[in-house]
Amino acid sequence: YGQLENANRQLEQKVQERTLELSQVNRRLEFLATHDSLTGLPNRLLLFDRLDQAVKMSRRSKAKFALLFIDLDDFKNVNDSFGHAVGDQVLRAVGEALSGSMRLSDTVARLAGDEFAMILYDVRNEDDVAIVARKIAAALSQPVRVQDGSLTVTASIGASLFPQHGTDPDALFKKADQAMYTAKGRGKSQ
């Protein structure tokens, strides 16, 4: 009987350990499904969920928010000249710089490659968005230490405002993307 109780306790302990392991794996999988594996930032899926929530909340509260689309200028040259490991290092540094340029209540996400986006909640007008865009440009202008030197990156930034430029996530995203391409067409770093 004593051996049976001991075996039962060991079995219960193994079940608890395995349950904990599975819970940790599930949390990690949930994180990976909604976050970029390189930067740890929210990914496109989570960004669109937050954008959808922002639209719903702003409709109800009549508040404005902005969507910024950020594309690094000539980033392909970084990968081609220095390799993908350096490119990844630069992307992580850009993610950190963008995160440091926003309020805790805002969202920054990596969409893919060298494309990032930000949702700025509770903005009053276009001037508020321009201030943040200048702050982003200043943060990105800081050299990124790589290997035996440093690199400086620039970005082209486009913005859309709710409700002026759209009242649904797709329209806002499209307008911000178009504005970013307009900025790139004006000479980049705009």
- From first to last of its 190 residues, the chain has per-residue pLDDT tens of 888 889 999 999 999 999 899 988 888 888 888 999 999 999 999 999 999 999 999 999 999 999 999 999 989 999 898 889 999 999 999 999 999 988 889 999 999 999 999 999 999 889 999 999 999 988 998 888 887 788 889 999 999 999 999 999 999 999 999 999 999 989 878 8
Which single residue is written with the structure tokens 């002026």? 164
Question: How many whole angstroms separate alpha carbon 155 and alpha carbon 134?
Answer: 11
What are the Cα distances from residue 137, in Å, to 92, 155, 190?
16, 7, 8
Residues with Cβ < 8 Å from 98, sequence gap 6 or more?
41, 70, 108, 116, 118, 136, 139, 140
pLDDT at 109: 97
Q: Which structure tokens are listed for 22?
A: 């599975």
Element spanning 176, H or E: helix 169-185
Residues designated catalytic: 114
